[in-house]
Structure 1
Amino acid sequence: MTRIALIDDHESVRLGLEAACVRATTLVVVFSGSTVTDYVNWRAFSGSPPADVVVLDLTLGDGTTVTENVRRLAADGSSVLIHSVADRPAAVREALAVGAAGVVSKSSPIDDVTSAIRTVAHGEPLNNVEWASAVDGDRAFADAQLSARERDVLRLYAAGLPLRAVADQLGVAYSTAKENITRVRIKYVEVGRPAPTKIDLLRRAMEDGILAEPDGPADLAEDARR
């Protein structure tokens, strides 16, 4: 079972998502509330582990920003899926830049929403229309100024190859490949798009067109966790 937390200041939205999760059978809602603070307080009081996925509205009524909400939830150990009307591309890009795993529109069919929850829960990149629109709307967001060699190393590494195999394929020393990946991570941090894990690097490679489509997303996600 995938444990879900719903954070939205519209009760009707939460009730609809809860009903959809019940129908999905493999998704269980462990928390439903209107603010991230309510969720954090519930966690502290109940001693419950972090939800696998937090479905988060882009804008809440308590005055918090999407950056602080996503960072707070990600630091707590949950994957964050933005569930929004997606009419504020700058805010969507902001959420993705600070660690949200993806975005799905509130106008999407409910089965698409539950499918997105499962995708995020499995650690796979969520590459959909809303995500693409947010990235394509701001070229600065998608440009980390990687060199040709850094792009080559990232492409192979993000596609699932171990770093030593990347070095062998490119005909460079292992230390050189490792240094390139380190520089890639630094450059992404500098443009506000940190990539601390291999699955994050996979997302960045897809965002920047370095890796157009994953071949077998589940397999790549498993490689990215290593």
Structure 2
Amino acid sequence: MHILGNPIRTAIVDDHDAIRFGFRGACEQRGFEVLAATETVSQLIEQVPAGQIDVAVLDLSLADGSQVDENVRKLLKHGAQVLVFSIADKKFQVQAALKAGAAALVRKSQSMDELLNAITLVADGLVVNNTETTAVIDADSDFKRDANLTVREREVLSLYASGFALKQVAHALKISPSTAKEHIDRVRHKYSGIGRPASTKTELLMRAIEDGILDDSAREL
């Protein structure tokens, strides 16, 4: 998690030398700290300890033949939020990346300033629901599948995704912290079961907004 006032710690995984070189220079001019620039996710994980990267920028298609959804999940597990930076010409890959938990998509046709601005938002814990990600979500019925949450699960999700800690959720709803956690675990399981994973709190916020449990202003909390 990025600490306010500290440089944003970034990394990039892209198999084009020019992209990695240009990204490093732009980040350093903006005051970001670039911890690694590698051709594969495995190389990045080997070079940088877990929990050190605030935002990892990932290309959709890498020369090692790896799958983008697996790459996104590996980076999330390594403690980094993921921003996809790609020509994004294959819709199914974009969908797979977003379903796996990528926070945003920025096309390589956009400016480097737009990429850096998106990195800043993602580092601050916001889901960047720009026109690129919205178009993919709207076109994909999987994102609209109903998780069939109970009334209590929706109440717990609403409070937890909006920023409450589990103990605060439990206090507000007059239930035990363990019960609150059980509800969140069931919510995660239900979303995962319909192809809409929500393994992080940011992803839970995204699902709550998508399903109308929270309004879009919750992104700014």
TM range (shorter): 0.7 to 0.9
Q: 1:159 aligns with which of 129, 152, 162?
A: 162
Q: In structure 2, how many angstroms separate the alpha carbons of the residues matched to 1:55 and 1:97?
A: 16
TM-score, normalising length: structure 1 = 0.80
Q: 2:194 aligns with which of 184, 191, 196?
A: 191
Q: In structure 2, how many angstroms separate the alpha carbons of the residues matched to 1:216 and 1:140?
A: 22
Structure 1 residues 166 and 183, CA gap change in structure 2 (3 angstroms): farther
Please list, as runs of the form range in 1=range in 2, the aligned pairs for 1:55-134 lying within 5 A after superposition: 55-134=57-136
Secondary structure of the residue that 1:54 maps to in structure 2?
A: strand
Which runs of no fewer than 5 residues in structure 1 stay unpaired?
A: 168-172, 221-226
Q: Which residue of structure 2 aligns with residue 18 of structure 1?
A: 24
Query: How far apart are 1:196 and its partner, in Å?
Result: 3.4
Q: 1:36 and 2:41 equivalent?
A: yes
Q: 1:200 and 2:203 equivalent?
A: yes
Q: In structure 1, how many angstroms separate the alpha carbons of the residues matched to 2:10 and 2:193?
A: 32
Letter in 1 for 2:95: R
Q: Percent identity?
A: 41
Q: Which residue of structure 2 aligns with residue 223 of structure 1?
A: none
Letter in 1 for 2:11: A
How far does the alpha carbon of each residue in 1:28-57 deviate from its partner, in whole angstroms, 9 at most, with x for none? 2121121112223323xxx68632211000
Q: Contact 2:72/2:102 (CA < 8 Å) preserved in 1?
A: yes
How far does the alpha carbon of each residue in 1:66-96 deviate from its partner, in whole angstroms, 9 at most, with x for none? 0221122122221111111222222112112
Range that drifts further, 113-122 or 189-198 = 189-198
Q: Contact 1:144/1:187 (CA < 8 Å) preserved in 2?
A: no
Structure 1 residues 38 and 28, CA gap change in structure 2 (3 angstroms): same
Q: In structure 2, how many angstroms separate the alpha carbons of the residues matched to 1:184 and 1:70?
A: 21
Q: In structure 2, how many angstroms separate the alpha carbons of the residues matched to 1:59 and 1:77?
A: 21
How far does the alpha carbon of each residue in 1:100-140 deviate from its partner, in whole angstroms, 9 at most, with x for none? 22222212222111011111112222211111112111122
Q: How many residues align?
A: 209
Q: 1:174 and 2:175 equivalent?
A: yes
Q: In structure 1, how many angstroms separate the alpha carbons of the residues matched to 2:186 and 2:73?
A: 23
**RMSD between aligned residues:** 2.6
Query: How far apart are 1:181 and its partner, in Å?
Result: 3.8
Letter in 2 for 1:52: D
Q: In structure 1, how many angstroms separate the alpha carbons of the residues matched to 2:212 and 2:114?
A: 24
Range that drifts further, 199-208 or 76-85 = 199-208
Q: In structure 2, how many angstroms separate the alpha carbons of the residues matched to 1:216 and 1:144?
A: 21
Range that drifts further, 140-149 or 65-74 = 140-149
Letter in 2 for 1:187: K
Which runs of no fewer than 5 residues in structure 2 stay unpaired?
A: 1-6
Q: Contact 1:6/1:32 (CA < 8 Å) preserved in 2?
A: yes
Q: Which residue of structure 1 aligns with residue 215 of structure 2?
A: 212
